[in-house]
Every structure is written in C-alpha cells, then in structure tokens.
Amino acid sequence: MYQFVTGPLAWLSFGIFFVGIIVRAVLYIKGLDWKLDRVTYSVNVSYGIKGAIRSILLWLIPFGTRGWRAKPGFTILFFVFHTGLLLTPLFLVAHNVLLKERWGISLFTIPDFAADLLTIGVIVSAVIIILRRIALPEVRILTTAYDLLVLLIATAPFITGFIAYHQAPGYQFWLITHILCGEIMLISIPFTKLSHFILFFMSRAQIGMDFGIKRGGMKGKGFAW
C-alpha cells in the first residue's frame, strides 16, 4: 500500500494538481472582460506592472494593508495558518527524503522542531477559524458546509502527519492516512476554493493593475479615466 500511495497515486495527484492549476489560470485570464478588466494593459505597461507588484506585496506583508490593520487578531491568525500551510510540506525533512528517493530532487529543509511548531500553528489556527465562523454572526451567515470541508481538507494532512511523526499507536495506518490526505488536498486545489493558492496572485495583480493605471495611478498623466 505504501509503495502505491507514494508511487503511482502520488504521480496522479501531482499531475492533476499541476494540470488543474494551469487550466484554472488560463480560464481566469480568458474570463476577464476586455473593457472592464484589461484596461490599456498593453499600452501603459509600466504603470500596470508597478500597480500589480505593489498590490501583491502589500497583501503578502502582515499589516501591509488597511484591511489587515483593521483586524489585527485575524491577520495574525491568517498568516500563521498560511505560513505553516505552505512552508511545512515544502521544507519538511521527511518529505524531501521521499522526494529524493522517488524523483531524485530535494529542497532546503527546516528542523523538525520548527516543522512541529508550524504544524501546531496550522491546527490551532484552523480550530480558531472554525470557532470564529461559528461565533461571529457576520461570518456565520456566510459559512457553509463546503467551507468547513475545504478547511478540513487543508488541515487533515497536518493532523495525521503530526500523529504519524510522533509514533502514535497504529503508525502505519496514520502514515498511509497522512499521505492520502495530502494527495486529496493536491487533487482538490484546482477544483475548490483552495485554488486561491494561485488565483490570489492573479486577482491581486489584476486589481493592482486596475488601480495602477486608471484609478489614480496615472493621475496627472493625461489619462482620461
């Protein structure tokens, strides 16, 4: 079973992930309205690029935007969750050992205690996010079972991985479950809200270009808008 989930099933999961992400990106670009969204992007390129980079960077920096500063507690929660979600799978020693064995590649690795802290951060943040969705009426009214399922899909690999790493009873079961949960997450990304993994950058770039060109970015430059 282990050979299957770390071999053919892993290849299939990564294949669906990469192809699906490319398709989502292409569909996003094709779905842009020529008049409303692609405003002179081919003419005022420097202003558009400057606006896109500024928009992305400010939203990637904690408290870099007014929205982040308005809710500092949620901002910290958000960045703890997403930092762990991104860094742990990529730079975990065990994952890179597996990558080296299966595909002959490996990345920079982080110490196991750092991976533990990041994993705990993801799990605790996910619990608080769920409690927040239940407790706050303005968030609860927007929350559906689908939202909770997506959060579970994103968090399950960390819960099962933490249990497996610390050699809980039934280690082999938890290890296989951890790998399967990770592959389910990979497959789910192109088809769920987890696709913001890539669409975040595209939407922020689009909005940044919009503001960088026609909403004050070219003020005083003779631009009609």
What are 80-128's pLDDT values in tens digits?
999 999 888 888 887 877 777 777 777 788 888 899 999 999 999 999 9
Q: Taking 80 as the threshold, does the pLDDT of residue 56 lie above it?
A: yes
Convert the pLDDT of each residue in 62-73 to its tens digit: 888 888 888 888
Residue 37 pLDDT exceeds 90: no
Percent of the chain with pLDDT over 70: 89
Task: Give the span between the Cα atoms of 165 and 102, in whole angstroms.
Answer: 20
Q: For the chain, what is the mean pLDDT?
A: 84
In whole angstroms, give the CA distance from residue 42 to residue 22: 22
Q: Which of 25, 6, 11, 12 is nearest to 190 (CA)?
A: 25
Q: How far is CA 203 from CA 97, 105, 138, 196, 211, in A?
A: 35, 31, 24, 9, 12
Residue among 78, 108, 97 at smallest CA distance from 165: 97
Alpha carbons 180 and 5: distance in angstroms, whole number: 7
Alpha helix (H) ranges present in the chain?
Answer: 2-6, 8-30, 45-60, 66-70, 72-91, 93-103, 112-135, 137-140, 145-165, 171-188, 196-213
* Distance in angstroms (rounded) separating the CA atoms of residues 94 and 161: 10
3-state secondary structure of 46: helix
Q: Which CATH class is domain 2-213?
A: mainly alpha
Does position 12 have pLDDT exceeding 60, yes or no?
Answer: yes
HSE-up of residue 111 (Cα within 13 Å, Cβ side):
3
Crossing angle of helices 145-165 and 171-188, rounded to 10°: 140
Give the residue, 182 or 37, on which the prediction is more confident. 182
Q: Is residue 145 scored above 70 in pLDDT?
A: yes
